[in-house]
Structure 1
Amino acid sequence: MELDEILAIFFQECEEGLAQVEANLATARDTGPDGETINTIFRAVHSIKGGAGAFGFEALQGFSHHLETVLDLIRTGERTADAALTDLLFAAFDVLSDHVASAQSGGTPPADTAVLARLEAVTHGAPAPAAEPEAVDEVTPAVADTAPDEEPMDFDLDALLASIDLPAAGAPAGPPDWLVRFKPARGAFDNGGDPLPLLRELERLGGRAVSVDLGELPMLDALVVDECWIAWTYRLPGEVARTDIEAVFDFVIDQCTLAIQSEEDAETAPPPAAPAVASTPEPEADLPPEAAAPAAPPSVVPAEPLADPVVPPSPVAAAEPAAREPAAAANAGSATIRVELDKLDRLVNLVGELVITQAMLSQRLSMHGVGAIDELSDLDHLTRELQDSAMSIRAQPVKSVFSRVPRIIRELEAGTGKRVRLEVEGEMTEVDKTVVERIGEPLTHMIRNAVDHGLESPDERVAIGKPAEGVVRLSAEHRSGRIVISVSDDGRGIDRARVRAKAVERGIVAPDAHLTDEDIDNLIFAPGFTTAATVSNISGRGVGMDVVRKNVQALGGRIGISSRFGKGSTFALTLPLTLAILDGMVVSVGTQTYVIPLAHVVESLRPESREVRAFGPGEGVLDVRGTYLPILSIGRLLGIPDACTDPSSAVLVVVETDTGQSILMVDGIQDQRQVVVKSLEANYAPVTGLSGATVLGDGRVALILDVETLVARQRAASRDLAA
């Protein structure tokens, strides 16, 4: 496996670890920390630290080490995770996420001095200090790029030397050194294990090799090169905590023999009984001796080796495998495998081609007078099952996007001074991976808009009888073959009079324009529109909601607004579950064939001529159960000369859009089937009113209508004509 592939796996594991940390921190904050919650956080941070050290990300490794130290104090009971310490852990998590992102992008590590200082204070027994980012940044601006394990160089050397309390002559210089004996066991290398990173980690803690035991090394004719015959003994400073040494071997403790002793204990311990030696050494690992010995050649092996590896491991180390066994058994039923995204994309594309081929086969047989046969029905059923399975592989829960929202909320609370409670529902709702990746930015803008513009300040809320803490609710659900993501708040709602005044002030609408409440609400999506009085790092430039609408429309979705002044607002994103295959209604317009996405279709009908009312030149409306809906001629909108122009002779398809219901007039309905979406932009050029193309069963290319754009264009044209 190439190094780049291994590095990519490391960053994937970092993302999974960060998600675990944030979820468990939220649990600790809401219900109080328990042992398993803290242990889960500790293991995730430790894994990130270990990988960072292996790949040379020193800043990430150093910060992880400081955070890990505080977590270790909590899990051992030396510190209690009160509210202040939990807030510090959240702040440290944010910085850790930034460190991972900078390591992945190759950018400059984030400024972590302020949080490191707070972690250090907790490590030395002080209460968790409150965050004072501005004061810290003003005092130590030059320390932002200092490595986490280094101290800033701004100090008085004479004062520092005078403050050092040197031990008196004859007094012990410090705690006795540690002696660590490590030998990989049978099967340690079967899963790609390697002792060298472990030895390097010991050296990073200040250790040095004092002996290399080659006593089990066989003669050359009996040497098996994929087994390890070597044991190492390292000396580490006594100041190093035993838990830090044990942590080095956390993930291999059940695949090695490990003995950790203080030097005094090793000197006073009676010599161990000589272990029985089998006539043929048992295989234990797969690293050649030449590559395995990191520092000392065989000639430096002392004549009297240290304690034999039969010394039992520490209770903490011995308990680790036992604790890991139930977890392994629990995870056995949900084993996963990582697959490159390109391979999944190729699979989905091939399944799409299979759907087209199956449709062509059905069309060809029907043209030759072959009726329905069992085998063809089975093929149709199996093709649909295969397509559903292929799409489910690409499906991911929106939790990966929702998990970023708590951090955004924390940053907004700090920037606005508001108090916000986040409520999340439906985070395990699944949607296509491409959709998940592309809704992150729109969702971020909507959350920022809800907090900055929607929620009142704590004082305002209390004055009008609301709780000081505002509520932002984030939810996801499947509805009518699409996914609906809603962001709602209990804030001030949309002040439509103010929105209209701002739109007139900025020249977005004419002062005498007739606007409905719905039209006014949609003004917030206009480019350059904002109600913010001043420009800040949160809002004020009028680009946020414009970006939201454009990104949502690019995904083939729509956005709706529901607001009550003084009560709050709800923004609902309606998106396709997948961008690759959709259910569509195949219709005829003149000699052309088009596909209307079935998610927009409400019903189809054939009206009587007396039911259609003229409304302007070339336009009409139809009374559908008490509501007059505008009729849009697809032939006229797309310039098809031989399209039907008489609504009473055509088929009317009622469709649902962001702006309500409308009617599309087509010549006839051919079929309803699943179609494979091909991008016009990638294969030809973007065309207004069309969202893509597909290949029908008879080999013809049919264009897929962009219903939202067509309806919006017609409504805009009608308003201009009325004006």
Structure 2
Amino acid sequence: MSDELDEIQAIFFEECAEGLVTAEQGLSAMQAGDVSAETIAGVFRAVHSIKGGAGAFGHADLTAFAHKFENVLDEVRGGKIPPSPGVVKVMLSAFDILTDHVESAKGLAPRPADQAALAALEQVLANKGADDGAPVANSTAPAPAAVETPAAPAADEADEFGFVPMAVSLDDFDAPAEAPAADAPWIVTFKPSRAALANAGEPLLIVRELEALGAETVAVDTSTVPPLRDLDPEDAYFTWTLRVPGEVSESDINDCFDFVAPDSIVEVRRDETAAPAAAPVAEVAAADEFGFVPVTAGVEDFAAEMQRVVETIAAASPAVGSVDTPAIAPKANSDAQQTIRVDLGKLDLLLNLVGELVIRNSILADRLSPADRQRVELPELARLTRQIQDNVMSLRAQPIKQAFSRVPRMLRDLSVETGKTINLETTGETTEVDKGVIEKIGDPLTHMIRNAADHGLESAEERIAAGKSPEGTIKLSAEQKGARIFVRVSDNGRGINRERVKAKAIEKGIIPADAQLSNEEIDQLICAPGFSTAETISNISGRGVGMDVVRSNVEALGGRIEIHSVPGEGTTFTMILPLTLAILDGMIVRLAGQRFVLPLAHVLETVQPEPGQVKRTAPDSEVIDMRGEYVPVKRTTEIFGLNDDRAVEDSLVVIVESEGSGKVGLVVDTIDDRREVVIKSLDQNLHPIRGLGGATILGDGSIALILDIEALVASTNRYTPKGLAA
């Protein structure tokens, strides 16, 4: 469990690094004079995302500072505070402090002195701007006396994020702490779980974290160490007693133990005697019969002694073997799985080279006769190329569980904040996704989950009145189909109130008052920039950036968002994401003389229609009789706005199967060939075009567009310059 939490938090810190880069670039652009709405919104989103993730992991100091910074950015974004040079200068100083807070949350730096920066931000909010001649806050300026700082929550009282500081011990979590002298030192007793080392937990890391706060080790109790024959090298036997300076807050001490096992013993109390720390012992006590020596000086002495003990045990008892103590004496294990870190840029280059190899293979196939193809073993070359591509793709593939694993804790916090009981159901956690996709869907996934918990699910009273279970359910799923990844977040809540959404959109000027919109178009309005139906601003929602962030991030990946809502039953958000590079089996078809690639994974069969087999059921609707089963038919040329007067009997109908629409017949002119093609993303040079999943280079060097079957069969027969109509 500790490993999983570490992995989740590592992903959060990676996202923090990306957010800080985005914020720094935006603030630098603002300093240079670019104060466009897009630039300001980019900085706001970055800080907003850092705040949300920090709150989920209990980094209270980071959350509080980011929230104050976000308030200023929100006022600037809304036009209430002009982005003058003085304001930008204050925000740049605040950005530096925000960066220090992130480093502090990682445990790489002490908590920064942020009082001056908070005072400067507060002044900007109060004055609706900053005096350009005023001095700029920095981390070394003294804190003014009038600055208010949030009081630390009581030991038995949950803070604003739902976290309860640990007081006295984990077994006596709710016991009220005594109140000795406020400046008395803290006495911390820590006995790790017996299975800490077996579960890859390192108690010394926690001790060192306490030492970073100024703690000193008073004693290490080794009385529970068993005889050598009973010693388990993966069990933890020691109990540490440390003295922490009295000015350190109890919450900072408790933060060091956030991820220890529940059966660990953690006691934090004031030293009522307030006696000075014992002087260092001149001579180290004699070692006991097992070679263990009580430690009174510090962790470094203990580490050295532990090193000696490990070597002694290993030499004296071959049956026990070497002890794996990663932080002290790493063990070389020839049987262990060997790994190596590789820069993602190198993998991307390798993927591109494999793609070029496939293209060259296609060119060679076009230029050789059938007899020559067999002589040069072209099919074998294609097979080997495909194997290389699959193995290279697997190097970047990781289970989407890494992105899903942060959701349970997020929902626990949201349950506390909203007062709702929320159940989570997940499927498809083992679906392998490109690492780049996992890194970029974390933020959209967070926003969709928070949106479902805050807006989608009703309160227990509302659900009971509607005849539902008082507990709401959020379902999270992932699956890969062909070259697409489907990630769904669905809830069984109230559904989208389309009348309210349309009214809010009119109120905010997003659409004109006389706009005639379909249900699907109204649902898409919740993804408009600045749209929100929340009445008040909270830590969960209300600023109108949630679904806007989701859509912009997904479209940046070349994907799209689909929304399906049934009033009273719930809402489902689906992120449909493409693989950035893949080799797929494709059918080369012609539409109005132009060549396109139709993925074979969707194709069931092809039909040469006989006269009367295709029937028109409405002015813009046709079906084909397939052995007594009527299958809808779509003319692909009409969808893309291509001129083609060819009769359907002179064309071919390709029967494809999609997830949302089932079987559909697509009318094409002819089928030229079947080939392996390399998908090249369109969004790097163009905007994403619905109905097209990418492009490829054919054997003759020409470019062919790859059809997106799911988008084609779900579309109406309308074409717009931006792509297919919704």
Task: Provide TM-score, normalisation by structure 2.
Answer: 0.54
Q: 1:442 corresponds to which residue? A: 444
Distance in 2, matches of 1:570 and 1:478, equals: 17
Q: Which amino acid aligns with 1:339?
A: V
Q: Following the alignment from structure 2 to structure 1, what is the Cα–Cα distance between the partners of residues 64 and 336?
A: 33
Residues 1:631 and 2:634 aligned together: yes
Q: How do residues 247-262 of structure 1 correspond to structure 2 at under 5 angstroms?
A: none
Residue 608 of structure 1 deviates from its aligned partner by 2.5
Residue 19 of structure 1: CA displacement? 4.2
Equivalent pairs, count: 498
Q: Which has the higher helix share?
A: 1
1:687-702 equivalence runs, <5 A: 690-702=692-704
Residue 360 of structure 2 is aligned to residue 357 of structure 1? yes
Q: Tell me if the contact between 1:363 and 1:697 (Cα under 8 Å) persists in the aligned partners.
A: yes
Matches within 5 A, 1:461-540: 461-464=463-466, 466-479=468-481, 482-494=484-496, 531-533=533-535, 538-540=540-542
Q: Which residue of 150, 155, 158 corresponds with 1:131?
A: 158
What residue is the counterpart of 1:343 in the other structure?
346
Which entry has the higher C-alpha Rg, 1 or 2?
Answer: 1
Partner residue in 2 for 1:429:
431
Q: What's the secondary structure of 1:488's corresponding residue?
A: strand
What is the letter of the counterpart of residue 20 of structure 1?
L
Question: CA 1:457 to 1:314, structure 2 compared with 1: closer, same or farther past 3 Å?
Answer: farther
Q: For residue 372 of structure 1, give the secondary structure of its aligned residue in structure 2.
A: helix
Counterpart of 1:32 in structure 2 is none
Q: 2-side partners of 1:412 and 1:98: how far apart?
A: 15
1:72 paired residue number: none
Q: Deviations over 1:563-601 (max 9, x none)?
A: 554443433334335544333321112432111344555
Equivalent-residue separation in structure 2 for 1:552 and 1:530 (angstroms): 19
Structure 1 segment 282-431 matched on structure 2, within 5 A: 322=323, 324=325, 332-366=335-369, 369-370=371-372, 372-373=374-375, 375-431=377-433
Structure 2: how far apart are the matches of 1:507 and 1:265? 76
Contact 1:622–1:631 (CA under 8 A) maintained in structure 2: no
Q: Tell me the residue number matched to 1:20.
A: 5
State the alpha-carbon separation in 2 of the partners of residues 129 and 318 from structure 1. Answer: 44
Is 2:99 the counterpart of 1:106? yes
Rounded to whole Å, the distance in 2 between the matches of 1:539 and 1:630 is 43
Task: Choose the corresponding residue for 2:608, options 594, 606, 609.
Answer: 606
Compared CA separation, residues 481 and 689, structure 1 to 2 (3 A): closer
Structure 2: how far apart are the matches of 1:91 and 1:453?
19
Q: Any conservation in 1 of the 2:578–2:693 contact (CA below 8 Å)?
A: no
Whole-angstrom CA distance in 1 between matches of 2:281 and 2:506: 84
Give me the whole-angstrom Cα distance separating, in 2, the residues matched to 1:694 and 1:312: 59
Q: What SS class does the counterpart of residue 706 from structure 2 fall into?
A: strand
Give the C-alpha shift of residue 544 in structure 1. 4.0
Please report how far the alpha carbon of residue 389 of structure 1 lies from its aligned counterpart in structure 2 after TM superposition.
0.3
Q: Does 1:575 align with 2:582?
A: no
Question: Which residue of the other structure, out of 591, 594, 619, is the alignment partner of 1:592?
Answer: 594
Selected match of 1:666 from 655, 665, 668:
668
SS of 2:673 mapped into structure 1: strand
Question: Is the 8 Å Cα contact of residues 442 and 547 (structure 1) preserved in structure 2?
Answer: yes
The answer to whether structure 1 residue 266 and structure 2 residue 283 are counterparts is yes
Quote how far apart the aligned CAs of 1:342 are: 0.7
Structure 2: how far apart are the matches of 1:135 and 1:495?
Answer: 29
Change in CA separation of 1:310 and 1:17 when aligned onto 2, cut-off 3 Å: closer
Residue 707 to residue 545, structure 1, CA distance change in 2 (3 Å): farther
Structure 1 residues 39-118: aligned runs within 5 Å: 93-95=58-60, 106-109=99-102
Deviation at 1:353, TM superposition (A): 0.8
User: Aligned pair in 2 of structure 1 residues 542, 582: CA closer, same or farther (>3 Å)?
Assistant: farther
Q: Once the two structures are superposed, what CA deviation does each residue of 1:626-660 show, in whole Å capped at 9, x if it has no partner?
A: 556252242x555655x462122112234566873
CA distance in 2, matches of 1:386, 1:99: 49
| Aligned match of 2:457 | 455
SS state of the match for residue 401, structure 1?
helix
* CA pair 528-650 structure 1, distance change in 2 beyond 3 A: farther
What is the rounded CA distance, in whole Å, between the counterparts of 1:316 and 1:686 in structure 2?
Answer: 61
CA distances 1:658-686 after superposition (whole Å, capped 9, x unpaired) = 87365432211123333112344545777
Conserved? CA contact 2:580–2:679, under 8 Å: no
Distance in 2 of aligned mates of 1:576 and 1:693? 12
Deviations 1:372-391 (A, max 9, x none): 35833322221111110011
Q: What amino acid maps onto 1:356 in structure 2?
A: I
The whole-number CA distance in structure 2 between the counterparts of 1:487 and 1:238 is: 46
Structure 1 residue 477: Cα displacement:
2.9
Is contact 1:589–1:644 with CA below 8 Å preserved after alignment? no
C-alpha displacement of 1:99: 12
- Partner residue in 2 for 1:649: 650
Q: Percent identity?
A: 45
* Contact 1:473 1:489 survives alignment (8 Å): yes
Whole-Å separation in 2 of the counterparts to 1:376 and 1:471: 53
Alpha-carbon distance between aligned partners in 1 of 2:351 and 2:162, rounded to the nearest angstrom? 54
Question: RMSD of aligned C-alpha atoms?
Answer: 5.8
Deviation at 1:341, TM superposition (A): 0.8
CA distance in 1, matches of 2:556, 2:595: 23
Q: Secondary structure at the match of 1:610?
A: coil
Write the deviation string for residues 196-222 of structure 1: whole angstroms up to 9, x where unpaired: xx9xx8997679xxxxxxxxxxxxxxx
- 1:652 maps to amino acid: V
Structure 1 unaligned regions, length at least 5: 1-15, 24-40, 49-88, 122-127, 137-158, 166-174, 176-197, 208-236, 248-260, 271-305, 719-723
Contact kept, 8 Å, 1:527 with 1:542, in 2: the verdict is yes
Change (3 A) 1:649 1:346: same
Cα distance change, pair 644–442 in 1 and its aligned pair in 2 (3 A): farther
Q: 2 CA distance for matches of 1:672 and 1:132?
A: 62
Structure 1 pair 579/602, CA: closer, same or farther in 2 (3 Å)?
A: farther
Q: Which runs of 5+ in 2 are unaligned?
A: 14-53, 67-94, 106-110, 115-148, 164-179, 188-207, 218-240, 246-252, 257-277, 288-300, 315-320, 721-726
Structure 2 distance, partners of 1:609, 1:668, is 18
- 1:565 and 1:353, CA in 2 relative to 1: closer, same or farther beyond 3 A? same
- Contact preservation (8 Å) 1:590, 1:667: yes
Change (3 A) 1:433 1:94: same
Q: Give the letter for the 1:450 counterpart.
A: A
Matches of 2:689 and 2:665 in 1, distance apart? 22
Q: 1:338 to 1:511 in 2, by over 3 A?
A: same
Shift in CA distance, 535/609, structure 1 to aligned 2, threshold 3 Å: farther
- CA shift, 1:344, in A, is 0.6
697-706 or 356-365, which deviates more:
697-706
Q: Distance in 2 between matches of 1:656 and 1:476?
A: 19
| Offset at residue 323 of structure 1 (A) | 5.2
* Deviation of the 1:356 alpha carbon: 1.2
